[in-house]
């Protein structure tokens, strides 16, 4: 089996299992936009776990890059990644959730709006890659 496929499969399984455990143990769906946006609502007993969840995601990503991809270099300029991240943030608010919330948790629960949203995410991503790679000659 292709090592990239195996890594992606294992990563996906871990995300799915972790989402199930979070929902079963705490009764909370770990969609990132919802977790992040409610940090600023300051509800007693609800803010700390959200903050720790976000910090854990950031720390986990940093550790993974240091260990598995120490020579990683970005394929786009930092400003472009910042603009893209900002647009994704707007999209999560407009779309009622982020890709992880809809794609992992929403589809896992059989939510029709999440299925539709995930199809739209995927198509938009494919169109964006096609445009940036084939019509405007690549990034940066």
Q: How far apart are CA 50 and CA 82, in angstroms?
A: 23
Predicted pLDDT at 49: 82
Q: Give the DSSP per-residue string, 116-139.
A: HHHHHHHHHHHHHHHIIIIIS-S-
- Residue range 38-73, pLDDT digits in tens: 888 888 888 888 888 889 888 988 898 888 877 877
- Residue range 15-32, pLDDT digits in tens: 888 888 877 887 777 777
Count of beta carbons in the 10 Å neighbourhood of residue 23: 15
% the chain with pLDDT above 90? 6
């Amino acid at each position: 089996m292709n090592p990239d496929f195996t890594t992606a499969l294992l990563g996906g399984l871990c995300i799915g299992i972790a989402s199930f455990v979070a929902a079963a143990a705490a009764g909370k769906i770990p969609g990132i936009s919802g977790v992040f946006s409610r940090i600023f609502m300051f509800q007693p007993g609800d803010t700390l776990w959200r903050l720790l969840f976000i910090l854990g995601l950031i720390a986990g990503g940093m550790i993974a890059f240091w260990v598995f991809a120490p020579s990683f270099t970005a394929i786009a300029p930092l400003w472009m990644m910042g603009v893209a991240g900002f647009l994704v943030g707007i999209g999560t608010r407009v779309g009622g959730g982020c890709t992880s919330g809809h794609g992992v948790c929403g589809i896992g629960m059989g939510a029709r709006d999440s299925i539709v949203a995930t199809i739209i995410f995927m198509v938009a991503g494919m169109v964006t890659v096609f445009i940036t790679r084939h019509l405007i000659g690549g990034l940066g």
